[in-house]
Amino acid sequence: MSDIDFFSVQREQSRIKTNLLTKYFDVWAKIIRPRSRSGKIAYIDLFSGPGKFNDGSKSTPLLILEKAINDENLKNSLVTVFNDASTDTSKQLMQNINNMQGIDILKYKPQVLNTEVGDEIATIFSEKNLIPTLAFIDPWGYKGLTIKLINALIKDFGSDCIFFFNYNRINMGINNPIVVQHMDALFGEERANKMREKIKNLNSEEKEAYIVNELAEALSVNHSNLVLPFRFIDEKKNKASHYLIFVSKHKLGYTIMKEIMANESSIKEDGVATFSYIPVKHLERHQNIQLSLLIQYERPLDSLGKELMNKYKGKTLTVKEIFDVNQIGTPFTSSDFKEALRRLEDEGYIITDPPASKRPMRNGVKTMGDKVKISFLR
């Protein structure tokens, strides 16, 4: 699909992608802006598009600016940088921005650049001290998307990155000699070489899980970065087409985005989000298909409860302590942990303080507050 076709009308996938980004931006800005030493925060979009679909729907650049215009704090603190390699598209974006009602009240005028995203831009970002920045990278394929760029964008305080990962294009590119340089830049040369050999012996489902897991491992930089994937199923085919991937250095950002992704998931298994958007016509077909994200992203709540029992035999911790220590690398949200603990309580495997009889009901369920103490039996 060309960019012209893409911007003809907003597709459901694009709407979900926009929801994930803008909902995270709202929470991120509220938390980070008061903590910014300069009082400024930034939103950077390196593959911005024209800002509107042909049907008039706003895409992310205009939606972010709209939020700044309507927020007393953001209008005086948000710095925005948009870029598109197409001269015509960047001009169209600038025109759409200038036509926005109230755009002149922003303290920092939006910057619209017209340049190819490559190693030079990654070097610039890596050498600069950035103000707290939320970066969005949405390339059509893989050109310009590199580990070096992502790490440069998240290296400073309060900075996170969200990028769209075209799984189909990457899958076709791994063993394509024409794009060796791009694959090496995305995964790292050593890792990419190992992947080229291993995927030759994998079926399509195994290959998807492996490629996404290797990308997450590359991005984690020996687990110093936290990575969350969200899977999109092709509207016409019964397989993954894209992933939206979130990268952060901070556990709070990871936790917030996990909640947002869980709420945008099409289906849940045992109450646990699959971290996937599946078009309605494919939902029924996917009920019995494993949705591989990262390897850990497939465990039901009963399995979580058993893991906690094995890990904490004879120990006492609060609900919050249990969640904080164990949530990384799993699909489980705070509410999932609480439900798993409620099941253990009902089955007599843990003792709670205060006990269920002294905790209030909410929506027909006993609450399990963050400060409740959980004692695991030996």
In this structure, the answer to whether residues 168 and 306 fall within a common structural domain is: no
User: Are residues 231 and 332 both part of a single domain?
Assistant: no
Across the strands, what pairs with 248? 226
d(CA 255, CA 243): 18
Q: Are residues 210 and 310 in the same domain?
A: no
Instruction: Please write down the long-range contacts of 206-210, taking CB distance under 8 Å and 24 or more positions apart.
Output: 207/171, 208/167, 208/171, 208/239, 208/240, 208/292, 209/292, 209/293, 209/294, 209/295
Domain count across the chain: 2
User: Residue 294: inside a domain, yes or no?
Assistant: no
Q: Name the stretches of the chain with pLDDT < 50.
A: 1-9, 281-295, 297-298
83 and 155 both lie in a single domain: yes
Same domain, 232 and 323: no
What CATH number did the domain enclosing 312 receive? 1.10.10
pLDDT for the residue numbered 234: 79
Indicate if the alpha-carbon torsion angle 151, 77, 37, 111 is positive or negative.
positive
Question: Among residues 269, 328, 323, which one has the least CA distance to residue 300?
Answer: 269
pLDDT at 47: 94
What φ, ψ does residue 231 adopt, rounded to 5°?
-100, 135
Cβ neighbors of 313 (< 8 A, separation 6 or more) are 376, 377, 378
**How confident is the model at residue 132, as a pLDDT?**
98
Dihedral pair phi/psi, residue 273, rounded to 5° = -60, 145
Domain assignment present for 292: no
Question: In whole angstroms, what is the distance from residue 354 CA to residue 369 CA?
Answer: 10
Amino acid at 223: H
Q: Do 166 and 305 belong together in one domain? A: no
Residue 140 lies in domain: 3-286
Residue 248 and residue 155 share a domain: yes
The enclosing domain of 17 has a CATH number of 3.40.50.150
Residue 246 in 3-state DSSP? strand
Q: Which of 173, 174, 220 is nearest to 194 (CA)?
A: 174
Q: What is the pLDDT of residue 55?
A: 84
Q: Confirm whether 295 is domain-assigned.
A: no
Q: Is 310 exposed, middle or buried (0-12, 13-18, 19+ CB in 10 A)?
A: exposed
Residues 33 and 138 grouped into a single domain: yes
Instruction: Give domain status of residue 326, yes or no.
Output: yes
Residue 220 maps to a domain: yes
* Domain closes at, from 286, 318, 345: 286
- 258, 286, 314 - which closes a domain: 286
User: Are 127 and 177 in a shared domain?
Assistant: yes
CA-nearest of 80, 67, 56, 61 to 7 is: 56
Q: What distance in Å separates the CA atoms of residue 341 and residue 346, rounded to the nearest whole number?
A: 9
Q: Report strand pairing: 268-269 vs 240-248.
A: unpaired
Asked if 320 and 376 count as a contact pair (C-beta separation under 8 A), the reply is no
pLDDT tens, position by position, 356-372: 999 999 989 999 999 99
Coil, strand or helix: which one is 314?
A: coil
